[in-house]
Chain A
């Protein structure tokens, strides 16, 4: 055993070394597929641990190695915290014969059985209060660490929170994260103030804070805290609490829930550009305590702090951890005490799909290999996408109910997956199409009406679109893609909860089975419709 030093790691290998060979891993099966990567479950032959391998696809050669992946890797390599997904190493697969083919690169992370979104979708899973507290504490610890290290996550949502069967929660998906150039939050001081502009094209819509919807560019770590509030509410409700179908609708939903903005509740709001030009939101009182009337007063109090319109006063992670809610009985469970659920992942779920009558149309930017999957192709053949505007919660409507289908959306359905990827660089249209997922089989239930029998599930929901980065004065002939946005690797490598029939471990609450509107649409990146505006808004982080 060699002591850890600046030259060597604990296991004696040089700190400074190349990638592991992929042959050090034994593949155990595919977990899922995303636009920018395939995810596999594998066993490390070195230490016999189970890992998730996320392949980084290199279809797009224009700017070389995908900057989102690069930045995510760089950030993850610097972070080390129990509640942040750990990037163990990078692995490389050399093609045979050292031919012209480029080698594939993989991110190696621990295998996590679920994501929070997947768990909440499972009707047989009903969180106890102690469990919710346990997850919240871990989420806040992770976020406190991130913010203390001056990193904005910028894509906080249930789907990006991975949960192991040991009850450990980890924040994943750093594809939109970036260093934060202001002082880290101080106790009692909320998120502080920002002195520079950042792009507003971040955070999946359902979790996007009001100041972002109103186009505040000098935002702070408080944007992540809003997402925590949304996740907190989601754990009580079993579904996203603010599922807007457009930016404007999202703003309305928020103000319906917590009250319209006034100079008192949201100082400075009237100076912001506004949401899609709309700047008046009536005079609604807010009904948070009514909506969450089943919860204790301290729960509602914490929720109110997290969902505070005033981003300068919104509670930060340090203070949230000290909120009396966590001291109330029932006390938070310890991670090890939580029940475990059978893990599952996207591809397993797909196998069941052919039994189902209605399939969601193929997601346009979605899973790259859907053509190889019978149910996908069939399904999309049966149900061509229709742009209709209804607010169905049924998964089959997810794709088609997009209120503002972007240009080219319809066509992209027909594209071959390769094509789609090849175009990913230039097509604004695909901005939000990357989120996708496989429908998901509801666990533990007898066959249900088809619509609710499926779930959208994605490892890569809401991967936000992209923006151009002309941050150098004068621009350049070449396009700079904002690194955070486009070529993203599916981070939720470690997916998720396939629930096999009758596999109800956590089951206590029958009430769930009757929830008819269980199907959740996955939130997805909201930018498709913004194609035209994107170029205007493109002044990425100056």
Chain B
């Protein structure tokens, strides 16, 4: 008989990627440079987050979708950026996650939102629309989906959904650190809302981390690191002992995660700078064009 403890753990923990899986992504095997892969994955996570906001999905659904999106690209059996369009994987991950939640959303809503967000003229996202926002509203033709496009893309969405399921072995369960972090805060006697807000900010930012924090660390560790960081930033003093041990996190892991979370801002700024005036590739063709461009530059 299973003990309640072990089954409870199952709800609270995630399957993690192995070091082999982390160092051998399908994309890297296919010759996508690591920095390019990181940029594209970051932009894809941003796109997923933005689409979730536009679809008015709650953050836990969006966060789960980003983790699913991240999982898809991991390991040699994962998806390759030279085979699958980032925007399609993002859309299907969001659709699939919403479908499993209590806030399902329709293929049409998904495709409408993605049509808008990847539009090079209309999108408010820097990673898809590098041109500065102008006063003039964008031409609707650049982002409104025709019925024909909708039908075709809907089929694509279904195919991608099935593909994600297959690639992940149907591991659609994602445990998030958000709720557990609030429990930890209460346990630590922290009542300042500013700290809680900062904790969530760090946890949400960590979804986009190039170090793939959500597939390498368990929710309890993410929660502890976010609390540690948030309390320092907000000047709130925590108990004077190694409190993280209580939550099964050791100093080394905590240190790593704190550094990783603190580096997010710098990473995001650097990405913005790096792609200044250019869109981050969101399709296989754009990835190929970018690889070609780099090759030409290198010569």
Q: Which residues in A have some Cβ–Cβ distance to B below 8 Å? A: 6-8, 14-19, 58, 61, 63-65, 67, 70-71, 73-74, 77-82, 89-90, 92, 102-103, 105, 141, 145, 148-149, 469, 471-472, 476-478, 480, 483, 541
Report whether A82 and B1 are in contact in the complex, using a CB–CB cutoff of 8 Å. Answer: yes
What is the interface size of chain B, counting residues whose CB is below 8 A from a CB of the partner?
49
Instruction: Check: B168 CB closer than 8 A to any chain A CB.
Output: yes
In angstroms, Cα B15 to Cα A77, docked, is 12
Closest residue of chain B to A76, judged by CB? B170
In angstroms, Cα B4 to Cα A141, docked, is 12
Instruction: Check: B75 CB closer than 8 A to any chain A CB.
Output: yes
Contact with A along B10-21 (1 / 0, CB 8 A): 110111111011
Knowing A64-B158, A102-B159, A480-B104 are in contact, say whether A80-B2 is a contact too (CB < 8 A): yes
Instruction: Check: B165 CB closer than 8 A to any chain A CB.
Output: yes
Report whether A64 and B103 are in contact in the complex, using a CB–CB cutoff of 8 Å. Answer: no
Knowing A16-B21, A61-B155 are in contact, say whether A77-B218 is a contact too (CB < 8 A): no
Distance in angstroms from B159 CB to nearest chain A CB is 7
Report whether B162 and A17 are in contact in the complex, using a CB–CB cutoff of 8 Å. Answer: no
Interface of chain B residues 95 through 110 with chain A (CB within 8 A): 95-96, 99-100, 102-109
The residue that B2 contacts in the complex, of A103, A145, A477, with Cβ under 8 A, is A145
| A6 contacts across to B, CB distance below 8 A | 13-16, 218
Report whether B16 and A18 are in contact in the complex, using a CB–CB cutoff of 8 Å. Answer: no
In angstroms, Cα B172 to Cα A2, docked, is 25
Distance in angstroms from A476 CB to nearest chain B CB is 5
Knowing A63-B107, A469-B104 are in contact, say whether A18-B6 is a contact too (CB < 8 A): no
Distance in angstroms from A459 CB to nearest chain B CB is 21
Distance in angstroms from A533 CB to nearest chain B CB is 22
| A149 contacts across to B, CB distance below 8 A | 7-8, 11
Report whether A70 and B169 are in contact in the complex, using a CB–CB cutoff of 8 Å. Answer: no
In angstroms, Cα B168 to Cα A477, docked, is 30
Instruction: Check: B198 CB closer than 8 A to any chain A CB.
Output: no
Knowing A19-B169, A90-B170, A478-B107 are in contact, say whether A58-B7 is a contact too (CB < 8 A): no
Report whether B107 and A64 are in contact in the complex, using a CB–CB cutoff of 8 Å. Answer: yes
In angstroms, Cα B2 to Cα A259, docked, is 39
Interface of chain B residues 1 through 60 with chain A (CB within 8 A): 1-2, 4, 6-8, 10-11, 13-18, 20-21
Distance in angstroms from B152 CB to nearest chain A CB is 13
The residue that A70 contacts in the complex, of B4, B100, B158, B218, with Cβ under 8 A, is B100
Knowing A63-B99, A81-B1 are in contact, say whether A14-B171 is a contact too (CB < 8 A): no
Residue among B74, B77, B165, B173 having the largest count of chain A Cβ atoms under 10 Å: B165
The residue that A89 contacts in the complex, of B103, B104, B166, B169, with Cβ under 8 A, is B169
In angstroms, Cα B99 to Cα A74, docked, is 12
Closest 10 CB pairs of A and B: A478-B106, A15-B15, A64-B158, A16-B15, A80-B2, A64-B161, A90-B170, A7-B18, A7-B16, A14-B18
Report whether B18 and A105 are in contact in the complex, using a CB–CB cutoff of 8 Å. Answer: no
Chain A interface SS verdict (over half): loop
Question: Could you name 23 residue pairs across A and B whose Cβ atoms are closer than 8 Å?
Answer: A6-B13, A6-B14, A7-B17, A14-B75, A15-B15, A16-B16, A17-B169, A18-B166, A18-B168, A19-B166, A63-B107, A64-B157, A65-B158, A73-B172, A77-B173, A78-B173, A472-B105, A476-B109, A477-B106, A478-B109, A480-B104, A483-B99, A541-B102
Contact with A along B276-288 (1 / 0, CB 8 A): 0000000000000
Q: Which residues in B have some Cβ–Cβ distance to A below 8 Å? A: 1-2, 4, 6-8, 10-11, 13-18, 20-21, 71, 74-75, 77, 95-96, 99-100, 102-109, 155, 157-159, 161-162, 165-173, 215, 218
Report whether A65 and B7 are in contact in the complex, using a CB–CB cutoff of 8 Å. Answer: no
Report whether B7 and A16 are in contact in the complex, using a CB–CB cutoff of 8 Å. Answer: no
| A67 contacts across to B, CB distance below 8 A | 99-100, 104
Report whether B100 and A105 are in contact in the complex, using a CB–CB cutoff of 8 Å. Answer: no
| A89 contacts across to B, CB distance below 8 A | 169
| B75 contacts across to A, CB distance below 8 A | 14, 16-17
In angstroms, Cα B103 to Cα A103, docked, is 28
Report whether A477 and B16 are in contact in the complex, using a CB–CB cutoff of 8 Å. Answer: no
In angstroms, Cα B3 to Cα A81, docked, is 9
| B109 contacts across to A, CB distance below 8 A | 476, 478
Report whether A14 and B104 are in contact in the complex, using a CB–CB cutoff of 8 Å. Answer: no
Closest residue of chain A to B4, judged by CB? A148
| B170 contacts across to A, CB distance below 8 A | 19, 70, 73-74, 77, 90
Closest residue of chain B to A178, judged by CB? B102
Residue among B2, B13, B107 having the largest count of chain A Cβ atoms under 10 Å: B2
Knowing A64-B99, A477-B108 are in contact, say whether A58-B162 is a contact too (CB < 8 A): yes
Report whether B17 and A105 are in contact in the complex, using a CB–CB cutoff of 8 Å. Answer: no
The residue that A18 contacts in the complex, of B18, B77, B96, with Cβ under 8 A, is B77
In angstroms, Cα B180 to Cα A274, docked, is 42
The residue that A61 contacts in the complex, of B71, B103, B158, B168, with Cβ under 8 A, is B158
| B13 contacts across to A, CB distance below 8 A | 6
Besides the known contacts A8-B18, A16-B169, A469-B104, 13 further A-B residue pairs in the complex with CB atoms under 8 A apart: A6-B218, A17-B75, A18-B169, A64-B158, A74-B173, A77-B170, A78-B173, A90-B170, A105-B162, A145-B7, A149-B11, A471-B102, A541-B102
In angstroms, Cα B104 to Cα A472, docked, is 8
The residue that A71 contacts in the complex, of B6, B100, B168, with Cβ under 8 A, is B100
| B11 contacts across to A, CB distance below 8 A | 78, 149
| B17 contacts across to A, CB distance below 8 A | 7, 14, 16
The residue that A78 contacts in the complex, of B10, B103, B165, with Cβ under 8 A, is B10
Closest residue of chain B to A83, judged by CB? B1
In angstroms, Cα B101 to Cα A113, docked, is 34
| A70 contacts across to B, CB distance below 8 A | 96, 99-100, 165, 170, 172
Distance in angstroms from B8 CB to nearest chain A CB is 8
